[in-house]
Amino acid sequence: MKRDFYDKEGCLEDFLKNFDYLLPIFLYWSYQPDSGAAWVKAAKSYYFNNIETMNRSELLTNLTLLIGDATFTYPMYSSLLYQHAVAVNPQYFYAFRYRGTWSNTYLYSNISTDYGVAHADDLTYIFPHVDYNIILALNKTPNENDLQMREIMVQLWTSFANHSKPSTLFFRGNTTWEPYSKKDNYLQIGDRSEITLEVKHPFSTGRMQFWANLERSTAEAETIGVIH
């Protein structure tokens, strides 16, 4: 569906015109007491604060961030924080941002437009599930960087399985993937079509804090409602 915002003429405009009604349906917020109205209002204010002055590219970028944060990024991040607080063993946090020759976006489209990194693209380099019929149809073949990324991912995952610490021969200098900590550290794997391995922190602080605050305020409101 998100691809339709990019490809289908009028789809983005129709969605934004009916934003308050469609967003809670799209993100399954309708179960909430107010049918998601409070979350829609907050999300619109945060991601589209200057909607009147935003161009099409900015609207698409922010809508993609909103949907991605609500459905994948924040649920993953909040789970990490919970596990970090109670787990005995360390957690390793990463962001996969390598856009290779293959992407799962091709599963939903017959065109080779580069939409960036798609959900689960990282698994392609660990457990290959590429539809080679699609690759042939798009006239694409894995390049040298793709093969190197496959080697990096396999080394990281097998070293973790064998020694409980992810490592790869492709780390440069003193780069080490440390367990997640209060520094909010993570390993960024790739940068568009470039092979990079970079330890960073913090992780999308503003956006993650927005969702944490929204979740907290909703829980508090529900508690007050129960008390009354």
Enumerate residues 6+ apart whose C-beta is below 8 A from 175: 197, 198, 199
Q: What order do you get walking across the sheet with 94-98 strand by strand?
A: 94-98, 186-192, 194-200
Per-residue pLDDT at 25: 94
69, 76, 68, 98: which is closest to 5 by C-alpha? 68
Alpha-carbon gap, residue 218 to 172, rounded angstroms: 44
Residue 36's CB is within 10 A of a number of other CB atoms, namely 21
37, 43, 45: which is closest to 74 by C-alpha? 43
Per-residue pLDDT at 45: 96
Our CA angle for 11, 12, 17, nearest 5°, is: 100
Over its length of 228 residues, how does the chain's per-residue pLDDT go in tens digits? 567 788 888 999 999 999 999 999 999 998 888 889 999 999 999 999 988 899 999 999 999 999 999 999 999 999 999 999 999 999 999 999 999 988 888 777 666 778 889 889 999 899 877 666 666 667 778 899 999 999 999 999 999 999 999 999 999 988 999 999 999 999 999 999 999 999 999 999 999 999 999 999 887 665 544 454
Q: Are strands 186-192 and 94-98 parallel, antiparallel or unpaired?
A: parallel
pTM above 0.85, yes or no: yes
Alpha-carbon gap, residue 212 to 184, rounded angstroms: 15
Strands (E), 49-165: 94-98
Q: Are strands 194-200 and 94-98 parallel, antiparallel or unpaired?
A: unpaired
188, 143, 197, 132: which is closest to 168 by C-alpha? 197
Alpha-carbon gap, residue 113 to 136, rounded angstroms: 15
Per-residue pLDDT at 111: 66
Per-residue pLDDT at 24: 95
Q: Where are the domains of the chain?
A: 1-89+203-228, 94-202
Sign of CA dihedral 132, 166, 186, 214: positive
